[in-house]
Amino acid sequence: MQLISIVNFVRGGKSSIARLLAEKLGTTILNFDPKRDSEFYNAIKTTNIPEDATIKRKSANLEVETQTEIIEISSTSNFFICDFGGRFDDRINEFHSDLYILPTMDDYESISETLRATKYILKNNPKAKIIHILNMAMCSSKAEKDDFKEGYFSNL
């Protein structure tokens, strides 16, 4: 079983990346964002993880334990996509993901938050595999994407 966690700040495009990746892998998104029901945002299967739940990684599944029940979640694709909310969730340390994806925009605040999240992950999992993505998901038109690319690549 492979865990891919997508973490970072609010509105960085985490859910968009989670949805695209889950569609390609044919798997479930585990939504850790207590502020929203991600079924509303995702066209594919999503399981909302309660804020008070603890997660245990087993060899073939995940065990989600709340105060009232224990739920086992499995995946036929052998992958899970973990979509963490726009705040950093300490539960990310309850299991070590096989891959962390951190989307960022090109402004100072976004990059600073991305570095802070990276440092947090590496402190608790020094061998973590991390991918940083310069995300243009917030650009809604071709003109915005072209402006974004021109502004970003002209500064390199």
pLDDT reported for residue 156: 42
Nearest to 94 by CA among 102, 84, 86: 84
Q: In whole angstroms, give the CA distance from residue 40 to residue 115.
A: 30
Per-residue pLDDT tens, the chain, 156 aa: give them.
889 999 887 667 788 888 888 888 988 888 887 776 655 655 678 888 888 888 888 888 889 899 999 989 888 888 999 888 766 677 777 778 899 999 888 778 888 888 888 998 899 889 999 999 887 655 666 776 666 556 544 544
Q: Is 147 within 8 Å of 156 (Cβ atoms)?
A: no
pTM: 0.79
> Which uninterrupted H or E stretch holds 130?
strand 130-134
Token pair for residue 99?
A: 């891959």
pLDDT reported for residue 4: 93
pLDDT reported for residue 40: 60
